[in-house]
């Protein structure tokens, strides 16, 4: 069932058992599904995300990760509120685009794509702009693989008593984060990233007391986070509209496999080792990383093209024939490609990848 490994940050390589979990049909409103699967997932997501689960609640939402980012911004930020978005890549910028669609008062603070978000600049902006009510930031910017300093950003945002929204799409489940300790109010991720499920829905973990105040704020019916939550909460796992039942069942299997692996700390250790083997091997073959090591996440790694003659399409096709699918770059300032370290992939897979690249270089 695996013609090649996806070394891409979602959809990614999933285990055989996660794929097999999709081999039966579930009714979208039956108890076996709602109570037996959806409610279990909601409870476990909250426990995974924070040390004080009683203060938080989880909502699952149909669609890809961006649907959930949009549902959150569109259901939480009121016309009189002011949002500050810190952006050092495509996903940060996308939050700014969502704010534009919804005509939110929004300032996008832009950073270089090769630099982490600077907490001191957020602090200076908040001091100069007391009208700001919400701050949103991406944890791991998948555009490059940079890991933003979420602890320091959260400390500053909370010192100024603002609501903090974190796009932890590509880090949740693979990089330890404690929402309660950091004071994060809304955190967003999706099924097909570090939990290692298949694509089809995302989820929002929210501070219960804040979400409870969001009735009637949404400008979209399908993406009304409050309404989706109220239906799930009162209906014990019911979705408002057809849910991706097979995908959700596979996700529960993926959550169980995360537990079996030893939880987020163990998964983080594996991804870090994947990344270490990858970078060491690539450097030995003459490739250079885009980011300095201290800004780099273990999630995805960007490499410069090795020389002006490098043909990415050709390299991609040859690697695919050898069993590895990689990712093109996504930044404008430099020619790069990316290799994802997340999914059901292990250090030995990366040793084989390095061998495959070495063979291509020798051709
Ligand atoms: C994957 C991802 C998203 C969502 O992208 P979709 O294509 O909508 O799933 C958002 N933010 C980050 C940081 C991501 O890595």
Is residue 65 in contact with ligand 1, taking CB distance under 6 Å?
A: yes
* Gap from CA of 65 to ligand 1 centroid (Å): 5
How far apart are alpha carbons 154 and 170 in whole angstroms?
18
| Residues 136 and 114: beta-carbon distance below 8 Å | no
Question: Under DSSP, is residue 86 helix (H, G, I), strand (E, B) or coil?
Answer: strand
Is residue 170 in contact with ligand 1, taking CB distance under 6 Å?
A: yes
Is 18-259 in CATH node 3.40.190.10? no
Q: Which atom of ligand 1 is nearest to the CA of 141?
A: 13
Pocket test for ligand 1, best of 63, 136, 170, 298 (most atoms within 8 A of CB): 170
Tokens for 151, please give them: 């602890």
* Cross-strand pairs, 138: 167
How far apart are alpha carbons 279 and 272 in whole angstroms?
10
Question: Phi/psi zone of residue 327: left (φ > 0), alpha (ψ -120 to 50 degrees), beta?
Answer: beta
* Gap from CA of 74 to ligand 1 centroid (Å): 17
Q: Which atom of ligand 1 is nearest to the CA of 202?
A: 9
According to the annotation, is 338 in a ligand binding site?
Answer: yes
* Gap from CA of 170 to ligand 1 centroid (Å): 7
Is residue 167 in contact with ligand 1, taking CB distance under 6 Å?
A: yes
Q: How many CA atoms lie within 13 A of 12 on its CB side?
A: 25
Pocket test for ligand 1, best of 12, 66, 90, 244 (most atoms within 8 A of CB): 66
Q: Which atom of ligand 1 is nearest to the CA of 139?
A: 13
How far apart are alpha carbons 2 and 13 in whole angstroms?
8
Give the pLDDT of the chain (363 residues) as one tens digit per residue: 688 999 998 899 999 999 999 999 998 888 999 999 999 999 999 999 999 999 999 999 999 999 999 999 999 999 999 999 999 999 999 999 999 999 999 999 999 999 999 999 999 999 999 999 999 999 999 999 999 999 999 999 999 999 999 999 999 999 999 999 999 999 999 999 999 999 999 999 999 999 999 999 999 999 999 999 999 999 999 999 999 999 999 999 999 999 999 999 999 999 999 999 999 999 999 999 999 999 999 999 999 999 999 999 999 999 999 999 999 998 888 999 999 999 999 999 999 999 999 999 998
* Residue among 61, 69, 68 nearest 85 (CA): 69
User: Which residue's structure tokens are 């991609």?
Assistant: 316
Give residue limits of the domains in the chain.
5-10+263-362, 18-259
pLDDT at 10: 85
* Gap from CA of 94 to ligand 1 centroid (Å): 9
Give nearest CA residue, ligand 1 atom 2: 169
How far apart are alpha carbons 218 and 78 in whole angstroms?
9
Is residue 10 in contact with ligand 1, taking CB distance under 6 Å?
A: yes
pLDDT at 33: 95
**5-10+263-362 sits in which CATH class?**
alpha beta
Q: Which atom of ligand 1 is nearest to the CA of 10?
A: 1
* Gap from CA of 191 to ligand 1 centroid (Å): 11
How far apart are alpha carbons 208 and 186 in whole angstroms?
10
Listed in sequence order, the residues at least 6 apart from 9 whose beta carbon sits closer than 8 Å to its beta carbon are: 142, 170, 193, 299, 300, 327, 338, 340, 342
Is residue 339 in contact with ligand 1, taking CB distance under 6 Å?
A: no
Omega prior to 11 cis, within 30 of 0: yes
pLDDT at 29: 85
Residue 85 DSSP one-character state = E
Tokens for 99, please give them: 């704010």
Listed in sequence order, the residues at least 6 apart from 306 whose beta carbon sits closer than 8 Å to its beta carbon are: 286, 287, 288
* Gap from CA of 201 to ligand 1 centroid (Å): 12
Q: Which atom of ligand 1 is nearest to the CA of 66?
A: 8
Tokens for 150, please give them: 């979420």
* Gap from CA of 202 to ligand 1 centroid (Å): 10
Pocket test for ligand 1, best of 61, 88, 169 (most atoms within 8 A of CB): 169
Residue 68: other Cβ atoms inside 10 A? 26
* Gap from CA of 309 to ligand 1 centroid (Å): 31
Report CA dihedral (301, 350, 191, 213) to the nearest 10 degrees.
Answer: -40
Q: Which phi and psi (to 5°) does residue 307 adopt?
A: -160, 175
pLDDT at 1: 67
**CA distances (Å), 182 to each of 99, 133, 156, in order?**
24, 17, 10
pLDDT at 192: 98
Is residue 169 in contact with ligand 1, taking CB distance under 6 Å?
A: yes
Residue 294 DSSP one-character state = G
Q: Which residue stretches of 77-160 are H helix?
A: 90-101, 119-128, 150-159
How far apart are alpha carbons 262 and 155 in whole angstroms?
29
Q: Give me the DSSP letters along 34-79.
A: IIIIIHHHHHHHHHHH-S-GGGEEEEEEES-HHHHHHHHHHHH--T
How far apart are alpha carbons 267 and 262 in whole angstroms?
7
How far apart are alpha carbons 324 and 349 in whole angstroms?
9
């Amino acid at each position: 069932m695996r013609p090649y490994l996806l070394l891409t940050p979602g959809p990614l390589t999933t285990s055989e058992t996660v794929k097999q979990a999709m081999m039966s049909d579930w009714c979208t409103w039956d108890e076996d599904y709602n109570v037996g699967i959806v409610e279990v997932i909601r409870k476990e997501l909250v426990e995974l995300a924070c040390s004080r689960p009683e203060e938080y609640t989880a909502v699952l939402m149909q669609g890809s990760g961006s649907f959930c980012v949009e549902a959150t911004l569109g259901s939480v930020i009121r016309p009189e509120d002011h949002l500050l978005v810190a952006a050092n890549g495509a996903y940060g910028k996308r939050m700014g685009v969502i704010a534009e669609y919804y005509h939110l008062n929004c300032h996008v603070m832009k950073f270089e794509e090769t630099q982490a978000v600077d907490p001191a600049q957020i602090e200076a902006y908040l001091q100069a702009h007391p009208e700001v009510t919400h701050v949103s930031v991406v944890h791991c910017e998948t555009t490059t693989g940079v890991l933003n300093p979420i602890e320091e950003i959260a400390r500053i945002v909370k010192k100024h008593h603002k609501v903090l929204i974190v796009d932890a799409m590509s880090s949740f489940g693979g990089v330890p984060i404690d929402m309660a300790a950091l004071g994060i109010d809304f955190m967003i991720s999706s099924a097909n990233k570090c939990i290692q499920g298949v694509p089809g829905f995302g989820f929002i973990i929210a501070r219960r007391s804040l979400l409870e105040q969001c009735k009637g704020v949404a400008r979209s019916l399908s993406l009304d986070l409050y309404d989706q939550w109220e239906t799930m909460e009162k209906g014990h796992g019911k979705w408002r509209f057809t849910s991706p039942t097979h995908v959700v069942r596979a996700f529960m299997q993926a959550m169980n496999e995360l537990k079996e692996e030893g939880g987020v700390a163990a998964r983080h250790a594996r991804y870090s080792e994947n990344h270490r083997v990858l970078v060491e091997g690539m450097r030995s073959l003459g490739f250079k990383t885009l980011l300095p090591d201290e800004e780099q996440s273990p999630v995805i790694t960007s490499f410069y093209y090795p020389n002006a003659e490098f043909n990415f399409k050709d390299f991609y096709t040859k690697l695919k024939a050898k069993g590895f699918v990689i990712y093109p770059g996504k930044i404008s300032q430099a020619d790069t490609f990316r290799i994802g370290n997340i999914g059901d992939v292990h250090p030995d897979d990366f040793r084989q990848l390095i061998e495959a690249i070495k063979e291509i270089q020798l051709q």
